[in-house]
Amino acid sequence: MYKDLQKLKHPFFVLAPMDDVTDTVFRRIVSSCAAPDMFFTEFVNADGLQSPGRPKLLKKLRFTADEAPLIVQIWGKEPDNFYKTARQIADGSFAKELGLPDGVNFSGVDLNMGCPQKSEVKNGTCSALMNDRPLATQIIQATREGLAAKLPLSVKTRIGFNSEDLTWSEFLLSQDIAMLTIHGRTKAQMSKVPADWEAIGRVRELRDRVSPETLIVGNGDVRNYRHGLELAKTYKLDGIMIGRGIFQDPFAFSAHSPWTSFTANKKIELYKKHVETFMKTWEKGERPVHTLNKFCKIYINDFDGAKELRVTLMNSPTADALLAGLIRSDM
């Protein structure tokens, strides 16, 4: 089940899962600029997917064939719901429910064991699992059983809870997972300090001893492709994940990004494309406009009048109003 991941070039590059950011629309925009080697969905709650709230969560799983390979990232607390969700992903049930053609499916399942947000931790999920390894074990085993060797299983986590904890990484590596993504901060650090790439390197060294077949992906403060290449070479990593760096450059996965040479009009045109794709994809209002407004910080910057235009656009009450504001500014 690891063969498709093993075929990836090394180092391979991944767009990080970011809630209310990396939906199918933004993934397509990134792909049209400079596609990574792998995409992740937003993280979606496995417990919710197995509840009456399932229809409201399906938007987080929407995708097109242009976004392959795409890994579903799930989180939650009940092992049985992980089993059911993994089984329905692996057998194509979710793809069919989303209206995708035969033969189009997700490429793997990733377990979110690193989100540091207070509500998730208080509920005993995500990074809280560092302190509940029996439950973490049950979740991994249940997910693996659900996948039935049809798709690879991976985990994304942090270097520790309150401090660096290699026993946590060793625990995960001992679970025979296909890929382990390490964010170079602890849960306690949130995003308040620079990512610790030396700690990520220590996890890679541990991988070499404990589970040589598991791919190690580094994550945290990666600016762009060239920066990622340097980090991968320095710490001998299989892959690099870029998160917030994409907000600075939609071409972050390109070896030769043209972004710094983009004129104001070219930036506005790309944002218009994003808005139009959003409107076509979410024509029934599945996504609120505020999830679109915030992309202003990517496109509307570094040109005369950008600040004033950004304020106007971020206060647009509808996608139509946002598009109208972009059209006026482009005249």
φ, ψ for residue 111 (rounded to 5)? -100, 125
Output phi, psi for 35, to 5 deg: -75, 140
The strand pairing partners of 179, in sequence order, are 154, 215
Q: Residue ranges of the alpha helices (H) in the chain? A: 3-6, 24-34, 46-49, 54-57, 79-90, 93-97, 118-122, 133-147, 166-173, 197-210, 225-235, 264-281, 290-293, 296-299, 306-314, 319-329
Q: What residues are paired with 74 via a beta bridge?
A: 44, 111
Q: Do residues 312 and 321 lie in contact, with contact meaning Cβ atoms separated by under 8 Å? A: no
Judge contact between 68 and 62, C-beta under 8 A: no
* Whole-angstrom Cα Rg for the chain: 20
Q: Are 75 and 124 in contact (CB under 8 A)?
A: no
Whole-angstrom distance, CA of residue 96 vs CA of residue 82? 19
Which burial class, exposed, middle or buried, applies to 158 when counting CB atoms under 10 A from its CB (0-12, 13-18, 19+)? buried
- Residue 304, classed as helix, strand or coil, is coil
For strand 38-45 and strand 108-113, is the pairing parallel, antiparallel, or unpaired? Answer: unpaired
The residue written with tokens 């391979």 in the block is 12
296 catalytic residue (yes or no): no
- Please say whether the beta carbons of 47 and 107 come within 8 A: no
Residues labelled catalytic = 115
